Amino acid sequence: MLFDAYDPGDFFDELFVAPGQPRPEADLLIQRVNALALSDLQQRQQTAQNALFKLGVTFNVYSDNQGTERILPFDVIPRVVPGHEWEWLEKGLKQRIYALNCFIHDVYNDQKILNDGVIPRHVVESAPGFLKPCMGLNPPNNIWCHITGTDLVRDKDGRWYVLEDNMRCPSGVSYVLENRRVMKNTFPHLFAAMDIAAVDDYASQLLETLLNLVPETLINPRVAVLTPGMYNSAYFEHSFLAQQMGAELVEGRDLVVSDGYLKMRTTKGLERVDVVYRRIDDDFIDPLAFRPDSLLGVPGLMEVYRAGRVALANALGTGVADDKLVYAYVPQMIRYYLDENQIIPNVPTYLCEDETQQAHVLTNLDQLVVKATNASGGYGMLVGPHASEDERAEFGDRIRANPRGYIAQPTLCLSRVPTLIDDTFEGCHVDLRPYILYGQDIYVNPGGLTRVALKRGSLVVNSSQGGGSKDTWVVKSVNPNAQLPIQSQTQSQ
């Protein structure tokens, strides 16, 4: 049996309780894989990767000089989450997104949470994502964070933590949808037997979320996905989502402000655009309001937006909540706005701007993970236990020079999932990014993107740093009497 030699080790394993003992929700999956020959499983793995290649599931790495596009590595062994656990996660994510939206609206309007001293004013006003031009904005229905990707991790004891929030232009949901399409062909019988929650309606839910931003009196509103262009790291996703929603895919050069409205150049002349799902960072979206050197945005867009003649998702200014120093105050936000305790906890966090906490961080750099408060993608980070003395010394100097720019956290023993590498299974560390849509209600797509660190021993799961992905199965129930065919299905696929 293929899993006979697999040892979960001294980590929380998402599929196994102990060697040879699958978790109940993963038992049918393990049975099915164990019934295959290694060559069959390897062929399924290659078939899945080829299918993703043909679908064009790619990403770009700006520093890569081997070519513009890469195929995101995909592993055929899924991550399994039991239904009752997902219900708890969903409840916690809804709580968090609601509180964060209240916070964003508050800091750009009444600033009650700052005036009451719950969050120090300088924490918000020094955040690079806090945009003064957004003061006084009131987006439709006072919703700012329409699309969020929240990164979750499990520690050694199996507890879930929120690692970070992504509210500007969260990416990766296209991989969730395409991974699932491929996995349905790889293990078709398991989807019926294990009652795996569907993810396929994300695009329709996204379109509904975007249409929720326009007045009901507006007939046939036009939705557009604004992309920086084909050289952006997530261009595949931009084009994919536009196609799935039946929306226009546009670049800044396709748009113009005319007669007080945002319009799109077409072969029939200028036509109005009512909702923009922007995949461009705030700073680049309007050279008249933000960076004057931007060639990606639309001059005058901010004025049209402020006048309420076009809706943007996400709203401008949401990046203030992505700041990792602001992240540390989310438990206070939840208590302040909801009068509730946080359901999914933050990772314990040391604030380097605090002298006492900074001293602790500098003394224990060999045990901590240090992160730049405004970085993403695995950049600007020190994993202390895996760093050299010189690297730790360099980060110590960075912290002392810019205390507000760094936080530190304990090095978590991230949970692992068996991953097929060559001809054996290895336990590889994973995180999870569920996608949350805030329209008329808050919707959490079941599962999300499981990112996997494919470098042996690595804790960094980002695709730009060598990571890959897995399908995530939320198992609502399992039919223990399901009869699964033993013979290879590779030829029929």
Chain segment 103-132, per-residue pLDDT in tens: 999 999 999 999 999 999 999 999 999 999
Residue 464 has pLDDT above 60, yes or no: no
Q: Which range (49-58, 219-228, 430-439, 453-462) has the least confidence?
A: 453-462
* Cα–Cα distance measured from residue 206 to residue 202, given in angstroms and rounded to the nearest whole number: 6
* DSSP tag of 127: -
The three-state secondary structure class of 254 is helix
At 394-409, the pLDDT tens digits run 999 999 999 999 999 9
Residue 390 has pLDDT above 50, yes or no: yes
Residue 105 — left, alpha, or beta (φ > 0 → left; ψ -120 to 50 → alpha)?
alpha
pLDDT at 73: 85
| Residue 302 in tokens | 């901010």
Residue 262 has pLDDT above 80, yes or no: yes
Task: Work out the average pLDDT over 321-336.
Answer: 97
Q: What angle do CA 473, 70, 176 make, to 5 degrees?
A: 20
Residue 48 — left, alpha, or beta (φ > 0 → left; ψ -120 to 50 → alpha)?
alpha
At 1-38, the pLDDT tens digits run 899 999 998 899 999 999 999 999 999 999 999 999 99
pLDDT at 490: 35
pLDDT at 63: 47
- Whole-model pTM: value is 0.92
Task: Work out the average pLDDT over 482-488.
Answer: 50
Residue of 156, 175, 145 whose CA lies nearest to 241: 175
* Cα–Cα distance measured from residue 176 to residue 471, given in angstroms and rounded to the nearest whole number: 7
Residue 491 has pLDDT above 60, yes or no: no
CA 474 to chain centre: 17
pLDDT at 57: 73
Sort 239 into a burial class: Cβ within 10 Å, 0-12 / 13-18 / 19+. Answer: middle
In sequence order, the β-bridge partners of residue 79 are 472
E strand or H helix at 59 = strand 58-60
Number of residues in the chain = 493
| Residue 331 in tokens | 């438990």
φ/ψ of residue 167, rounded to 5: -120, -5
